[in-house]
Chains A and B, each alone.
Chain A
Amino acid sequence: MKASAFSYARATSVGNALELLAAHGDGAKVLSGGQSLMPAMNLRLISPELLIDIGDLGELRGIALARGTLRIGALARHVELLNSPEIAAHAPLLTEAIAHVAHPAIRNRGTLGGSLAHADPASELPACMLALNATIIVRGQAGERRIAAADFFTGIYETALSADELLIAVELPTASKDSLHFFHEFARRHGDYAIVGLAAQAIMRGRMFADLRIALFAVGDRPVLAAAAARLTGIAITPELLSETAAALAGELDPQEDQQASADMRRHLAKVLLVRGVSTLLGRPELAGVLA
């Protein structure tokens, strides 16, 4: 399939991009990495009148550490995140998760901002933002807004971003030295969209979780920060507790049914991921079999 015809504008500044967005509204689409936009356009699933290419905007690049916060520009490519020493040091969950995003050629072009704005419920990075308690910074002609990740993802391909706003950057609190992370997804083939995935960020106090953020993806119309994780903090974890928590987690989820899995299967796999994740974080392999 060949994309339908469109006009093309190379934005010269963020302001210029915002002008164009304001002028064209729904008729315009932002082109950053293009790894989600272009397949949709090639399949003629969408036919915008105008593509606004923000690829030249240096202001949107960069990964910087300042005052205990890691700021990542929206145009940071997946491969840059993967290879970034700052991210490896301060948000290693991301380093691990990015390796699961598609394949090298896609990661060389796809951007963090693009992935978050696209908000595919089966993708890795939105869930990582939840687990990392990220703040998503967007800008419109009226000014900037800071949106907590927990409030940003509102549905399938839907976010709190309005049609005339641009996602500018993401800010993450840096991981403390007691932090641990866990990431895993079940996918039929390497690089495929997950059937179910889990991104977890924990702060340990001794052998207990002082804080535990567990974000699941491909389990519904948006990534889910598991409320059930609260059951596991500040308490010694027994097989029974873990098993109950898994059941509670399954109860929180309203997964979609599709060609890869039924809703029941997704709930089941979410439980398996929770159990395997907690067992790994605690370094207690005997917990991994509680669902058997």
Chain B
Amino acid sequence: MDTSQLSQDILNLVGISKEFSSVRVLDTITFGIRPGEIMGLIGENGAGKSTLIKIICGIYQQSSGQVILEGKAVDIPDYITAKHLGIGIVPQEFNLINSLTVYENIFLGSEIHKGLFLDKRRMREIASEQLAQLKMPLDVNRLVSELSVAEKQMVEISKAMILEARILIFDEPTTTLTGHEVEILFSLMRKLKAKGVTMIFVSHKLHEVTTICDRVTILRDGKLIGVDEIADVDEEALARKMVGRDFSQVFPPKITRSSGEEMLSVQDLSITGLLHHITFNLRKGEILGFAGLVGAGRTETMEALMGLRKIDSGKVFIGGKQVRIKHPKDAVKNNLGYISEDRQGKGVVQIFDIPKNISLISLRNKYVNKGFIDKNQEAIAARKYVKDFNIVASSLNMELKYFSGGNQQKVYLARWMDTGPQILILDEPTRGIDINAKSEIYEFVHTLAASGIGCILVSSELEEIIGLCTRVYVLREGQIADCLEGQDITEENIMFNATGIKEGI
């Protein structure tokens, strides 16, 4: 690399490698970032994106190679040093303390003191000033627990910016955002860009990368595949580079045949303050979509249906008969299954191996013989699921925490399939998993529906809803805004019903 380029770039990575217990996850990565640009960083799960940005932020140390900031080699032993060097990160999972206010969170770890005491007035002033500059409509005295997801992200951004960050890293910032909120984020990023802030945008959503970025860096299996000007590439080319081969169609062909009889009917389901008279039905063999903004009550509806939340009123009919579901056990008995959106927190047991994770619900019914667990049967069943679901595992007895998101999700699916569900609810089933696993899960849901199982798909990814569902209920503020069918399932219609605002007209 010649010196003229070094002096041009604000940040250079030179031959960065990283090994975790002799497994090489990053292999001599070299590229530079120009001042004031938005650099996309894309790659499948496990490609090394997070490791790379963690090295830039000082959370990990590279095994070899050099980070060069404005022409000078720098050593970043921890995040505090990174912050003082002007590098900030907006993490994927929010790192905010709910019981503290907005400004307290913004200044967490870099509080301003007046003598021995906190200078609260000054911190409030600076925080308000910064929020106003970025045109973020947020009161600094509000508690973080009261904020929406998009607002929390604004707090994260302010927090990363508070030490005058010149380089700001966004780690998959749109994962938990809805389309509308993504727009807010992008306009915010444009404002930051106008202020001269350099940004790294990590994502595996290609259309977002092509929308917001100037250039894009592609990683695959820990290696640098290329750095491209956005103007020179399209999504398809990026996808090919990212996955390393062609992939034809992500979504299986849409189910066109008419659906069967009604399997599930929910009438006037209400929870005070959360859900208001939710009424819907599910027919045999269809894929029913639930769309809406985060917080519209989709997950709450499903949790209420599963007996995970107490309902104030409402009736549930399965196969024409009224059922009472007060505990998830009752739901399982009625052949209902629920894949939660929170795979880490509510899905897999991280310290259990594959067989133990898969048998968790069906244990008593299928694997307990005279009071004792038949571990042989468990292993046989697990091996079958590993094969059927194409779960990549070097050993059945490895703890789930060592698995990628996609493989964890498949194990989680296998657990519910082992209960023999007639109705399966999938809540954000493809969140945080790579494109191959996504495609496999779509295929899987499709096969399920074809075999007569009623599938409910809750998703914030509109392409998923549009690509898979036969009917779509759109929720807004705890109420069903509309039910869309056939040709009416379009991005416009869904967003209109979800927000109540006609956009782009």
- Are A and B a genuine interacting pair, yes or no? no
| Residues of chain A at the chain B interface (Cβ within 8 Å) | none
